[in-house]
């Protein structure tokens, strides 16, 4: 997900614009216009940082000099300095909250994703940890990027990049097999076709019908194990990527991983983010 800096800049300035409204009345009244200061952004939690690129692109777009002390993906301890900003004091203060809010959300996502990925790695599990489209509206790009920084898979980026046939689609298409048939006939050869199934038999039907990815929706670990067996019996296990989704949490993760599922996807990576605490402090007037 490489995006040119200039386009990223525009997205970030829109966020800032929303927060500024008609102008920052506090800074205008309290802070001298021509003051140059140095400020640092400091971690108030321990975890994995994401959003450093965004923070420095925003800072530089505003004419500030940014020096980064960590890269996106770095694990930091509470108290570490992440970024130093140098420039006009009013500008730093007006951008502070927008910059911190994004850094805080993205690092929260990356920290949780990494923790889950490492849990699996600790057990030598090879399942991929993936996000879903359950993101905050308007923040798809940033939420997905934070998942990647944390070591997860972003899954589908939006509605145009793969076919994902869900329960409601199947209801309207008739059954799993006809839905897949329609999808393959009606979509570009450049797309993978994934289908969500609710029982083992449908997983087998989906693989037979040529799905590239089969998503076991709300299967418990035992049911998932059955589905894997059914596919193996049918000689179709290698034909598909198996994904489990729904009800997977940090507690149940290892149980799911042990079933041999290829991908474990968790909506909570992006829909229930715990903010990573960061703060900005002015440390020097130049």
The answer to whether residue 273 forms part of the interface with a copy of itself (CB under 8 A) is yes
Smallest distance from a copy of itself to CB 235, Å: 16
Give the nearer residue to a copy of itself in terms of CB position, either 17 or 78: 17
Active-site position among 11, 60, 80, 97: 97
CB burial of residue 2 (10 Å; 0-12, 13-18, 19+): exposed
The answer to whether residue 249 forms part of the interface with a copy of itself (CB under 8 A) is no
Site string for a copy of itself, 102-141 (x = CB under 8 A): x-xx--x-------------------x-x--xxxxxxxxx
The answer to whether residue 154 forms part of the interface with a copy of itself (CB under 8 A) is yes
Give the nearer residue to a copy of itself in terms of CB position, either 78 or 158: 158
- Diameter of the chain by CA atoms? 75
Tell me if residue 255 is catalytic: no
Tell me if residue 5 is catalytic: no
The answer to whether residue 82 forms part of the interface with a copy of itself (CB under 8 A) is no
The answer to whether residue 28 forms part of the interface with a copy of itself (CB under 8 A) is yes
What residues have CB less than 8 Å from 51, skipping those under 6 apart?
Answer: 72, 102, 103, 104, 105, 106, 107, 142, 146
DSSP code for 242: E
Tell me if residue 24 is catalytic: no
Torsion of CA 174, 175, 181, 186, to 10 degrees: 50
The answer to whether residue 5 forms part of the interface with a copy of itself (CB under 8 A) is yes
Binding segment for a copy of itself among 56-64, 76-84, 111-119, 221-229 (CB under 8 A)?
56-64
Q: In whole angstroms, what is the distance from residue 85 CA to residue 78 CA?
A: 19
Q: In whole angstroms, what is the distance from residue 163 CA to residue 29 CA?
A: 54
Q: In whole angstroms, what is the distance from residue 141 CA to residue 159 CA?
A: 13
Give the nearer residue to a copy of itself in terms of CB position, either 161 or 250: 161
Cα distances (Å, whole numbers) of residue 182 to 118, 162, 199:
39, 14, 21
Active site residues: 97, 134, 166, 194, 217
């Amino acid at each position: 997900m490489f995006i040119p800096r200039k386009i990223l800049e525009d997205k970030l300035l829109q966020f800032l614009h929303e927060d500024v409204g008609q102008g920052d009345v506090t800074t205008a009244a309290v802070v001298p216009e021509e003051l140059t200061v140095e400020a640092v952004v400091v971690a108030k939690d321990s975890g994995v940082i994401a959003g450093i690129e965004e923070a420095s692109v925003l800072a530089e777009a505003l004419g500030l000099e940014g020096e980064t002390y960590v890269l996106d993906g770095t694990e930091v301890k509470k108290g570490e300095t992440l970024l130093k900003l140098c420039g006009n004091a009013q500008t730093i203060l007006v951008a502070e909250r927008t910059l911190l809010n994004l850094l805080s959300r993205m690092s929260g996502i990356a920290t949780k994703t990494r923790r889950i990925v490492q849990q699996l790695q600790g057990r030598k599990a090879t399942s991929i940890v993936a996000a879903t489209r359950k993101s905050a509206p308007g923040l798809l790009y940033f939420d997905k990027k934070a998942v990647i920084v944390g070591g997860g898979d972003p899954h589908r980026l939006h509605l145009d990049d793969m076919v994902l046939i869900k329960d409601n689609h199947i209801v309207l298409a008739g059954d799993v097999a006809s839905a897949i048939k329609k999808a393959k006939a009606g979509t570009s050869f450049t797309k993978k076709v994934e289908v969500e199934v609710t029982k083992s038999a449908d997983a087998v039907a989906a693989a037979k019908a040529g799905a590239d990815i089969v998503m076991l929706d709300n299967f418990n670990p035992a049911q998932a194990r059955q589905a894997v067996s059914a596919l193996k019996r049918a000689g179709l296990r290698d034909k598909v990527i198996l994904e489990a989704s729904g009800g997977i949490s940090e507690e149940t993760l290892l149980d799911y991983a042990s079933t041999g599922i290829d991908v474990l996807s968790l909506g909570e990576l992006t829909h229930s983010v715990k903010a990573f605490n960061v703060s900005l402090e002015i440390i020097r007037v130049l």
